[in-house]
Copies of this chain bind each other. A is one copy, B any other.
Amino acid sequence: MTTVLIADDQPLQRFGFRMLLESQDDITVLGEASNGSEAIRMTAELHPDVVLMDIRMPGLDGIEATRRIVAAGDRTRVLILTTFDLDEYAHAGLRAGASGFLIKDAQPEELLSGIRSVASGDAVVAPSLTRRLLDAYAQHLPAGDGTGDVAGDDARLSALTEREREILTVIGKGWTNTEIAARLHLAESTVKTHVGRILAKTGSRDRIQAVILAYDTKLVEPS
């Protein structure tokens, strides 16, 4: 069950959101806030999985409210809703730690799937915003040409097979055995076998040491 707090200064807008969300079996609306301060207070009280946050609100605005909610360190994720897809909002919201951005007039399904994604730890961005995000991101990437140095060429990894190195890479990215199994289309028992062999071959006592090894050997690069 996903719990949601709605933060918007327009009662009619809140009503619409509530109707939509409550029509879903797996979503519960814990409450409604009409400004940023209320949103912060209610989040601290109710610990919703997701706060649906409007940016423009009287008093404390949505960005600042987002910043404080994220800083509180709770598990609550903030999904920012904006009427205009203005860039400065996205930037400020990103710095504030929001988990996603949607446009208010999105399709209901988009909103719902966005909430579910954010609740499960993923992030979402409205399609019309994604383009800019990609462009801006690409612009800031290191200038390398893609060809060149092969990572993970370390003596401690030499005993590993291709497959094992592949598994070690995703271990280094923090994937759980279950995730590895699902994303690589394997049985969890197979993953465990691989992991066990990797630990034995590299002399790591647990996957944590393996993660560290993956970083030290540059098999995985800091992001």
CB distance from A155 to the nearest CB of B (A): 7
On chain B, the residues within 8 Å of A202 by CB distance are: 73
Asked if residues B125 and A205 are in contact (CB atoms below 8 Å), the reply is no
Asked if residues B128 and A122 are in contact (CB atoms below 8 Å), the reply is yes
On chain B, the residues within 8 Å of A125 by CB distance are: 125, 130, 134
Asked if residues A127 and B117 are in contact (CB atoms below 8 Å), the reply is yes
Hey, what's the 0/1 contact readout for A94-131 against B, CB within 8 Å counting as 1?
11010110010100000000000100011111011011
Hey, what's the 0/1 contact readout for A69-84 against B, CB within 8 Å counting as 1?
0011111000000011
On chain B, the residues within 8 Å of A209 by CB distance are: 174
Q: What's the number of copies of this chain in the assembled complex?
A: 2
Determine if A163 is an interface residue (Cβ-Cβ < 8 Å): no
On chain B, the residues within 8 Å of A147 by CB distance are: 67
In the assembled complex, the Cα of A222 lies from the Cα of B136 at a distance in Å of 10
On chain B, the residues within 8 Å of A46 by CB distance are: none
Asked if residues A123 and B134 are in contact (CB atoms below 8 Å), the reply is yes
Task: Please tell me which one of the listed residues B124, B207, B218 contacts residue A222 in the complex, with CB atoms under 8 A apart.
Answer: B218
